[in-house]
């Protein structure tokens, strides 16, 4: 009977590789050093644990540091994502009345129809359930991003190329950053949320610079992926300030559905007998996300009092 490869004296070539032994003993040394540190400096660890239990701010900053570290690791481990010429080839490239990519251009303007009135209402504070200045700032950036997306997306789809796509991505990333910051303002702390907003906006500009300078889309992709994880997590884990929190989950669902429509652009176009493409439907579903959040703002009221 054949002996398993892990038996003594029957090691495989892979197991005999010195690099594997070095990697194994390296982690043994790391674990041993960590145990020595815990044994020698246990008082420091006890003090840190007491501080985290007692100080809410310390827990928040530690959580933010861990999330930032996780994002940094993902960016470092992920391979570089360059621009691809196929990115600008869409299923529906029909030309009506002399307008290139007509439906992809026209379906960009629902963002303007939702964004401008909602921006005015969020600044006036007359109809929306907004109680903090930081929330006003966050929602203003969100709806301003939506309004700008109408023009940026239309401009890009008139002549899709690497030079114009930044005007399509930039407003979307501003809106995504605003939504994450709004949830932090509502459910964690206003000052931390406002700081998060401006930090993310700075990161948006950095991601555009990386895209243009180094032809690397990794940072841009994080603004599409991270909100899908962070927003439902914060909705479920953090206590709500307002009613109608389920609208956040509904908006996330439509966002994911919109991304699916965009990925399956050609398939969706063929399924509905070449009436409307998946990318055009992606625009419409993303506009529905804004409508859902606007309805939430109109309906909601304060659920619990804040501690500060």
| Same domain membership, residue 128 and residue 36 | no
Residues ≥6 apart with Cβ < 8 Å to 131: 241, 302
Q: How many residues does the chain have?
A: 308
Please check whether residue 53 lies inside any domain of the structure. Answer: no
Distance CA 274, CA 270 (A): 5
Residue 139 shares a structural domain with residue 232? yes
96 strand-pairing partners: 99
Q: Are residues 166 and 209 in the same domain?
A: yes
Helices (H), 87-132: 102-106, 110-124
Q: Is residue 305 part of a domain?
A: no
23 and 87 in a single domain? The answer is no
CB atoms < 10 A from the CB of 281, how many?
22
Asked if residue 308 lies in contact with residue 253, where contact means CB atoms within 8 angstroms, the answer is no
* Residue 4 belongs to some domain of the structure: no
Residue 94 in contact with residue 102, Cβ under 8 Å?
yes
Q: Are residues 36 and 135 in the same domain?
A: no
Establish if 133 belongs to a structural domain.
yes
What tokens were used for 264? 């399956």
Answer yes or no: do 135 and 268 share one domain. yes
Domain carrying residue 104: 61-299
Residue 206 lies in a domain: yes
DSSP string, 31-58: HHHHHHHHHHTHHHHHHHHHHHHH-HHH
Same domain? For 164 and 242 the reply is yes
- Block means of pLDDT (10 residues each) for the chain, 308 residues, are 43 45 53 59 53 53 64 74 87 92 96 96 85 93 97 96 93 95 91 91 92 87 84 86 92 94 94 94 97 95 62
d(CA 107, CA 276): 10
Q: Where are the beta strands (DSSP E) in 217-277?
A: none
**Spacing of C-alpha 261 from chain mean position:** 18
Neighbours of 4 (CB within 10 A): 7
Residue 239 and residue 90 share a domain: yes
Instruction: Give 300's contacts (C-beta < 8 A, 6+ positions apart).
Output: 129, 242, 243, 244, 247
Burial letters 150-173, b for 16+ CB under 10 A, else e: bbbbbebbeebeeebbbbbbbbbb
pLDDT at residue 20, as a whole number: 46
Please give the C-alpha separations between residue 20 and each of 7, 24, 27, 106, 181, in angstroms, as whole numbers: 17, 6, 11, 57, 44
Closest to 185 measured CA to CA, from 119, 131, 135, 246: 135
What CATH number is attached to the domain comprising 240?
1.20.1070
Contact by Cβ (8 Å): 281, 92? no
Q: Assess whether 106 and 252 both reside in one domain.
A: yes
95: in domain: yes
Claim to verify: residue 30 and residue 109 sit in the same structural domain: no
41 and 78 belong to one structural domain: no
pLDDT of residue 143: 97
| Predicted pLDDT of residue 58 | 53
The number of folded domains in the chain is: 2
Note whether 21 and 115 are same-domain residues.
no
Q: Which two tokens stand for residue 190?
A: 């206003």
89 within a domain of the structure (yes/no): yes
What is the model's pTM? 0.78
For residue 307, tell me if it sits in a domain. no
């Amino acid at each position: 009977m054949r002996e398993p490869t892990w038996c003594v004296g029957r090691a495989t070539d892979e197991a005999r590789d010195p690099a594997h032994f070095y990697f194994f003993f390296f982690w043994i040394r790391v674990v041993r050093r960590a145990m020595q540190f815990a044994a020698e400096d246990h008082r420091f660890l006890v003090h840190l644990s007491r501080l985290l239990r007692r100080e809410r701010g310390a827990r928040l900053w530690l959580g933010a540091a861990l999330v930032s570290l996780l994002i940094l690791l993902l960016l470092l481990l992920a391979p570089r994502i360059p621009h691809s010429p196929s990115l600008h080839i869409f299923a529906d490239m029909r030309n009506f009345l002399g307008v290139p990519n007509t439906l992809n251009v026209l379906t960009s303007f629902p963002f303007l129809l939702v964004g401008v009135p909602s921006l005015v209402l969020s600044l006036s504070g007359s109809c929306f359930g907004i109680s903090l200045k930081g929330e006003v700032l966050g929602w203003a950036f969100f709806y301003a991003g939506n309004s700008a997306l109408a023009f940026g997306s239309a401009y890009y789809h008139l002549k899709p190329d690497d030079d114009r796509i930044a005007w399509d991505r930039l407003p979307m990333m501003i809106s995504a950053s605003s939504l994450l910051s709004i949830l932090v303002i509502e459910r964690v702390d206003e000052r931390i949320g406002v700081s998060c907003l401006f930090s993310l906006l700075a990161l948006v500009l950095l991601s555009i610079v990386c895209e243009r300078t180094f032809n690397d889309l990794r940072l841009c992709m994080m603004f599409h992926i991270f909100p899908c994880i962070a927003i439902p997590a914060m909705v479920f884990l953090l206590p709500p300030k307002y009613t109608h929190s389920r609208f956040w989950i509904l908006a996330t669902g439509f966002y994911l559905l919109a991304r699916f429509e965009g990925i399956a652009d050609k398939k969706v176009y063929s399924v509905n007998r070449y009436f409307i493409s998946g990318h055009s439907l992606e625009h419409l579903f993303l506009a529905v996300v804004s409508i859902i959040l606007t309805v939430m703002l109109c309906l909601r009221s304060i659920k619990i009092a804040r501690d500060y």
